[in-house]
Amino acid sequence: MTHHQQQPDQAAANLLARVRGQAPDIRANVRRLAAFANVHACPTAAVAFAARVDTNRVLAGTSMEMPYGQSPFAIGRGVAFEALLRRHGHAELRRVLTVGLATDFTFAAIENLREGYPPNRAGLRMRATVTQTRMAEIAGRPAEPVVLDGAVLQADIGGLPAYFEADEMAIGVGGQIIVGENKSWPVVDGKPTDEDALGAALDQAATYVLLGRRTLEHAGVDPALMSDSIVLVTPRNTGLAPSLHRQDVASRIRRIERLLGAVPDIRETAKSTPASVTFDVVADTTRPEGVRMEAFRQVTDELGRVYEPASCLTSCGFAWACRQCLFAAGDPDLVGGAVARALPGIASLSRVAELGQGAPASTAEVPAAVPLARAGRLYDEIVPAPVPPTAPPTAPTPTPTPDDTPRRTA
Ligand code: SF4
Query: 6: pLDDT confidence band, cut at 50, 70 and 90?
Result: very low
- Report the residue among 322, 324, 325 best suited for mutation to probe ligand 1: largest number of ligand atoms under 8 A from its CB: 322
Asked whether the predicted pLDDT for residue 239 surpasses 90, the reply is no
Q: What is the mean pLDDT of residues 115-125?
A: 91
- Report the residue among 300, 305, 313, 333 best suited for mutation to probe ligand 1: largest number of ligand atoms under 8 A from its CB: 305
**Per-residue pLDDT, 333:** 86
Phi first, then psi: give them for residue 242, nearest 5 degrees. -75, 150
Distance CA 176, CA 312 (A): 40
Beta bridge partners of 53: 25
CA distances from 383 to 92, 177, 355, 376, 386 (A): 64, 64, 18, 10, 9
Q: Is the dihedral of CA 11, 16, 20, 25 positive or negative?
A: negative
Asked whether the predicted pLDDT for residue 8 surpasses 60, the reply is no
Read off the pTM.
Answer: 0.73
Neighbour count for residue 142 (Cβ, 10 Å): 15
Instruction: Looking at the CA of residue 305, tell me the nearest atom of ligand 1.
Output: 7
Digit-coded pLDDT (tens) for 334-378: 888 888 888 888 888 888 889 888 889 898 888 889 889 999 898
- Report the residue among 44, 68, 325 best suited for mutation to probe ligand 1: largest number of ligand atoms under 8 A from its CB: 44
Digit-coded pLDDT (tens) for 387-402: 777 766 665 555 544 4
302 within 8 A of 278, measured Cβ to Cβ: no
Query: 7: pLDDT confidence band, cut at 50, 70 and 90?
Result: low
134 within 8 A of 150, measured Cβ to Cβ: no
Digit-coded pLDDT (tens) for 269-285: 888 899 899 999 999 99
List the single range of 66-70, 114-118, 406-410 with lowest mean pLDDT. Answer: 406-410
Cα 37 to middle of ligand 1, angstroms: 12
Distance CA 227, CA 245 (A): 14
Cα 4 to middle of ligand 1, angstroms: 31
Q: Where are the domains of the chain?
A: 10-66+274-334, 72-262, 343-382
> Which residues 6+ apart lie within 8 Å of 360 measured at CB?
none
Q: What percent of the chain has pLDDT over 70?
A: 91
Distance CA 131, CA 286 (A): 43
CA distances from 153 to 165, 251, 255, 351 (A): 7, 21, 19, 53
Burial letters for 206-237: b for 16+ Cβ neighbours within 10 Å, e otherwise? bbbbbbbbbbbebeebebebbbbebbbbbbbe
Residues lining ligand 1, judged by CB closer than 6 Å?
A: 39, 42, 44-45, 305-307, 312, 316, 318-319, 322
DSSP letter for each residue of 178-223: E-EEE--S-EETTEES-HHHHHHHHHHHHHHHHHHHHHHHHTTS-G
Report which of 375, 337, 331 is spatially closest to residue 355, judged by C-alpha positions.
375
Cα 41 to middle of ligand 1, angstroms: 9
Q: What is the mean pLDDT of residues 28-47?
A: 85
Asked whether the predicted pLDDT for residue 1 surpasses 50, the reply is no
376 within 8 A of 357, measured Cβ to Cβ: yes
Query: 268: pLDDT confidence band, cut at 50, 70 and 90?
Result: confident
> Which residues 6+ apart lie within 8 Å of 261 measured at CB?
none
Burial letters for 73-91: b for 16+ Cβ neighbours within 10 Å, e otherwise? eeeebeeebbebbbeeebe
Distance CA 235, CA 16 (A): 42
Asked whether the predicted pLDDT for residue 323 surpasses 90, the reply is yes
Distance CA 81, CA 62 (A): 35
